[in-house]
Chains A and B, each alone.
Chain A
């Protein structure tokens, strides 16, 4: 037999073997999918009875059935709140599924660690928070992202600073970290107040932005103080936070910020004055709308319209009104 023939026959045999493996694998997967679908359909009423009713799952479920039920309960945990999620968490506390997920969080395979972190977030058992905090420093981004999501779902207050740092350093997608922090909610405010005094500009600015979203009137003092910061990014974040918090005590400081050397700080101050209803600032806002650079002029015009449409319309009719007042008045008429 010539060598070419041997090679050809070897390749044919290898191809056939590979095809056989693929076919067998596909058949096994299909059988697994059918089995899963059958068990899931049978257990759906059990999951629903548990989540929305008062029936505990029956004892004596096989390990496979428990796995399927756990996945269904995790899915419901993503869709529901209130008593339903409390029941789901109580189910998972001390369960085999929780133990398995904690073990997989230590897997050598990144996808398994990420999957485990994701699952732990759905299970809602807060005793896993320390492990998820460690996972936030994982070498793989998908694991860190899943851990950030999970910490948000657990509303883990102790994750505030690590999540803000992960946000600032882009170690997880900012949307995921931001969403997690907002899910934790106003509990993060004390730690944000501390972070607002950090020597790192970006940490300060991020903390102030978040404080504007979750804080209340009691947090405006921190933002007022930071409105004097040497870093413009911090002053912008402080001005925006004051607008979101909505405290009228911020009016004098924001009025001063209308003369800031940086245009985007002036713009943020103008916008916030409009949001908090600072009518005393109207003449200055109209002046800025007429004469300042694009960004603060536009923000001031929009704020003026918000504060007093009639006065803004009158100002827009002046020959030297500039384009921004006209634009803001026209938009208000839509």
Chain B
């Protein structure tokens, strides 16, 4: 994938990946309501494919997903020129400090534990995209 200049977008594009459809639809709704265009993925491999193809402005990734978990997905996104600067927020029920460390070591920019507040997630997305 070459590092072409991204096409300017009317709305920031956010990728959400979670294998639980209830959570995914809620994220899509909430972020859409906050003014973002949202892409969906139901597993890690699909998320990787979508991210490399669409080059979203930010990704919200569940950690425990089938095919490719959130940690490995983050590492792979960081290894690709097209996505290595893309902000990544990990969303997970894994709440130990070691899990948080693992997320940051993989290259994530932020880590939100489940159960989570949709409003807080929206604010964090806004804060990260607002800085860029």
Contacts and interface: CB of A to CB of B under 8 A. Distances in A.
Nearest to A78: B115
Given A52-B33, A53-B33, A81-B115, A76 B22 contact: yes
A43 B116 CA distance: 22
A79 B23 contact: yes
B26 interface: yes
B55 to A, nearest CB: 26
A274 B115 CA distance: 33
Chain B interface residue bracket vs A = 10 to 19
B95 to A, nearest CB: 12
A48 B32 CA distance: 12
Contacts of A52: 26, 29-30, 33, 118-119
A76 B116 CA distance: 10
Contacts of B10: none
B11 interface: no
B117 A83 contact: yes
Contacts of B120: 82
B29 A53 contact: yes
A81 B22 contact: no
A76 B23 CA distance: 8
A85 B26 CA distance: 14
A51 interface: yes
B19 to A, nearest CB: 13
Contacts of A78: 115
A24 interface: no
B26 A81 contact: no
Contacts of B118: 51-52, 80, 82-84
A31 interface: no
A84 B30 CA distance: 11
Contact of B117 (A44, A72, A81): A81
A51 B120 CA distance: 13
A84 B119 contact: yes
Contacts of B53: none
Contacts of A84: 117-119
A79 B117 contact: no
A75 B22 CA distance: 9
Contacts of A85: 115
Contacts of A221: none
A51 B33 CA distance: 13
B25 A44 contact: yes
Interface string A29-62: 0000000000000001100110111000000000
Interface string B13-36: 000000010110110011001000
Interface in B30-51: 30, 33
A27 B55 CA distance: 47
A79 B114 contact: yes
A44 B119 contact: no
Given A52-B33, A53-B33, A82 B26 contact: no
B116 A80 contact: yes
B67 to A, nearest CB: 22
Nearest to B117: A82
A237 to B, nearest CB: 23
Contacts of B117: 80-84
A49 B30 CA distance: 9
B119 A82 contact: yes
B116 A48 contact: no
A45 B32 CA distance: 13
A82 B112 CA distance: 13
Interface of B: 20, 22-23, 25-26, 29-30, 33, 114-120
6 contacts: A52-B29, A52-B30, A52-B118, A79-B23, A82-B119, A83-B119
Interface of A: 44-45, 48-49, 51-53, 72, 75-76, 78-85
Given A52-B30, A53-B29, A80-B115, 6 more contacts: A44-B22, A48-B26, A76-B22, A79-B22, A81-B116, A82-B116
4 A-B pairs with the lowest CB-CB distances in the bound complex, closest first: A82-B117, A52-B30, A52-B118, A81-B115
